[in-house]
Amino acid sequence: MNYSPLQKARYEYTPKLPGMLRHGIAEIGVKEGSETQSVADQDKIKALFPNTYGKKEITFEKGQNTSAAKKQVVGVILSGGQAPGGHNVVCGLYDALKATNKENVLYGFKNGPSGLVDDDYLIFDDAYINEFRNTGGFDIIGSGRTKLETDEQFAISVEVCKKHGITAIVIIGGDDSNTNAAVLAEYFAAHDTGIQVIGCPKTIDGDLKNEDIECSFGFDTATKTYSELIGNIERDANSAKKYWHFIKVMGRSASHVALECALETQPNICLVSEEVAAKKMSLSQIADYIADSVEKRAAKGMNFGVAVIPEGVVEFVPEFSALIGEINELLAGSKAETFNALPTWAEKYAFIEQGLSKESMSVFAILPQGIQQQLFLERDPHGNVQVSLIESEKLFSALVADKLADRKKKGTYNGKFSALHHFFGYEGRCAFPSNFDSDYCYSLGYNATMLIQYGYNGYLSKVSNLSAPASEWVAGGMPITKMMNIERRHGEDKPVIRKALVELDGKPFKYFEAHREEWAADTCFTYPGAIQYYGPAEVCDITTRTLALEQE
């Protein structure tokens, strides 16, 4: 196999560990903190998790290792979408297992949680692990989105684990995956299986965080990758001086990615979905907000700019959410077949016009035809509109173009407006991890082994103090149930990990808010450039602007 020079060099990079994990395994002790409770719905969560609820947070520190010496056979699962650094979680887990006892074994269940149910696996060895150190992607064992949530799946999982003598399962995933990890841990405890479950916090969206989890892995690399691309586009815009670039970035449920990219690159416009919802902004108001920037810049002879748009922003617009709800009802059951059988868009439009309320129809009518049709594309498994398929970057540029046309008629605007569109998503999910993510992920995996060794179940591998140098990071664990609340999902109350949205009173947003008026009117672009792996620590190991501001 041929390797690029960077790939070869990254194989040889030695990730940095928190200070207390740098001691020999025999010198890693544990300090227990206070008992925990869930963030909300305490009585309901406790009733659902009687065996794993209320456990103590723990921190690893230098001291005598008091864990029982025993052979560990561990299974690891990559769950959900890819995030840079996942390979290093597996490598850290493997290295710590082998450092604890050379007889320890690590199974990798293939293609996500389904690998456990299907008993589809590989057994890691040094040669195989070494091919993936410090590299992007999840191709070491593959990932998948199967959910472990039924008693039948749990029972099969127990049998597969018993067949191989597996003592613990590590699930590397986001909020849904770690919710599943908590449910699986409770099942294993309730049935006295002796099998532990440990989770690791992964998602490039940045919405798996709280007072304990400062950052999910992959967010650092993905936002730096997107910011490099956005910076390149800003430089092009400032060179050609004739295009407005509308750039959609990942983040359906929260705007952490968009906000971090804005802090890194200082574009003229960045929409924050949480602010749109808080202010109950309409599509027309958002379009006016962007058009104001276009008009101010045009008055200075700058007919160019950059707007960053989070993937899920339209779902935060109240009137658009109401429209989506009505469309879902309009096409419920057999009515979808009736609609799909209509031969022309004109007939379909008439069908829509008859079925929507006056308010929702007024919103639907202002949408470009291409966006209108996207709302009626293939439904998700629950029969709902797949909002992620909506090209919101094209939606807003079209609405802005209409606003500017009206202003031109009124004589308030006399500039030129030409829009180009981009979507940065998959480009960031499997990038070579930054030094931060390489170190953080390796620490999470190494730390997970210590949680297993000490017998913890239903815990999340936790590494904190992340804005400091890696030597000062703090390793430990927290019960997954601490992050949970009850939410309504598909008509039922379900225990889930609460998603972390952008806090409008938080330091990252406040910094953005204080500067965006200047960024909108002038050209304040910054160009982060490519991720650096070798050189001064202040360049190569730098954290995200979000994390730096939050930890000030």
Which positions are catalytic? 205
What is the C-alpha to C-alpha distance for residues 482 and 498, in angstroms, rounded to an integer? 10
Indicate the burial class of 354 (C-beta count within 10 angstroms; 0-12, 13-18, 19 or more): exposed
Which amino acid is located at 132 in the chain? F
- Token digits of residue 33: 């903190």
In the block, which residue shows the tokens 């969206």? 205
Residues 6+ apart with CB under 8 A from 229: 422, 424, 427
Q: Which of 68, 64, 88 is nearest to 78 (CA)?
A: 88
What is the C-alpha to C-alpha distance for residues 111 and 139, in angstroms, rounded to an integer? 9
Q: Which of 289, 264, 309, 301 is nearest to 520 (CA)?
A: 289
What is the C-alpha to C-alpha distance for residues 395 and 311, in angstroms, rounded to an integer? 12
**How many Å is the Cα radius of gyration of the chain?**
25
**Would you say 230 and 514 are in contact if contact means Cβ atoms under 8 Å apart?**
no
What is the C-alpha to C-alpha distance for residues 12 and 10, in angstroms, rounded to an integer? 5
What is the C-alpha to C-alpha distance for residues 511 and 266, in angstroms, rounded to an integer? 11
What is the C-alpha to C-alpha distance for residues 389 and 375, in angstroms, rounded to an integer? 8
- Token digits of residue 42: 């305490």
Element (H, E) at 9: helix 5-11
Which amino acid is located at 540 in the chain? C
Residues 6+ apart with CB under 8 A from 547: 214, 215, 220, 466, 467
**Would you say 305 and 244 are in contact if contact means Cβ atoms under 8 Å apart?**
yes
